[in-house]
Amino acid sequence: MEKSIDSKISMLQHAIRFFISTMLLSFFWVTSVNASPVDTFEFKDEATQLRFQVLSKELRCPKCQNQNLADSNSKIAVDLRNNLYNLLQEGMSDQEVIDFMVYRYGDFVLYRPPLKEQTYILWFGPLVILFGFIISVIFVLRKRSQVKANEHDLSTQEQANLDDILNKQ
């Protein structure tokens, strides 16, 4: 009987060890895959290269909707990466590049939507919901504590009755 428990524990230990090592492995696996598909761009300086990397992560591929330009290998993403490279080499500033893309593809190409009337609900909706939640929690808790407090308070009549009973004893 005792033996079987021991073996069960050691099996469990094995399982945990396996689980942890798999987790670690998958973590390192993911980080190595995370490198974007490398184009052979030659940048005029390192700063431009850095800006290219930042912008290609910031801009969304219009066709493959849940990837940025850096991650996608679809035709349009490759084309847009080439264009981004050209624009940066020509000396456009980050804002100019973003304006260039937004003029043609709309706000959709931005992973961070700009703050304007149509996006108020996007930016403030979660805050409103959180706020509403906090208020209702406060409301409910207060009500509950009031009910509890009331339970302990006896009315004068009840108190008199209680005194009566106690005095009789």
Partner 1 sequence: MKSIIRFIPLILFFLLAVLLYRGLFLNPQSMPSAMIGKPLPNFELPTLKSIEQRVGRDDLQGDIVLLNVWATWCIQCKYEHPYLLNIARDPRIKLYGLNFTDDHKAALSWLKQYQDPYVFSIFDEQGALGLDIGVFGAPETFVIDHTGIIRKRFAGPINDQVWQKEFLPLIETLEAEMADGAS
Given candidates 55, 58, 59, 62, which one binds partner 1 under the rule CB under 8 A?
62
| Total of residues contacting partner 1 (CB under 8 A) | 15
Residue appearing with tokens 């490398």: 38
Closest approach, Cβ 27 to partner 1, in A, equals 31
Is residue 63 a contact residue for partner 1 (CB under 8 A)?
Answer: yes
Closest approach, Cβ 75 to partner 1, in A, equals 7
Closest approach, Cβ 115 to partner 1, in A, equals 18
Q: Which amino acid is at 62?
A: P
Beta bridge partners of 60: 68
Q: Please give the Cα distance from 130 to 135 (Å, whole number).
A: 9
Closest approach, Cβ 76 to partner 1, in A, equals 5
Is residue 92 a contact residue for partner 1 (CB under 8 A)?
Answer: no
Residue appearing with tokens 């033996």: 3
**What percent of the residues of the chain are helix, what percent strand, and what percent coil, each to the nearest 5?**
75, 0, 25
Q: Please give the Cα distance from 76 to 29 (Å, whole number).
A: 28
Given candidates 31, 32, 65, 167, which one binds partner 1 under the rule CB under 8 A?
65
Beta bridge partners of 68: 60
Given candidates 18, 99, 106, 161, which one binds partner 1 under the rule CB under 8 A?
106
Is residue 142 a contact residue for partner 1 (CB under 8 A)?
Answer: no
DSSP state of 31: H
Q: Which residues bind partner 1 (CB under 8 A)?
A: 62-63, 65, 75-76, 79-80, 83, 102-108
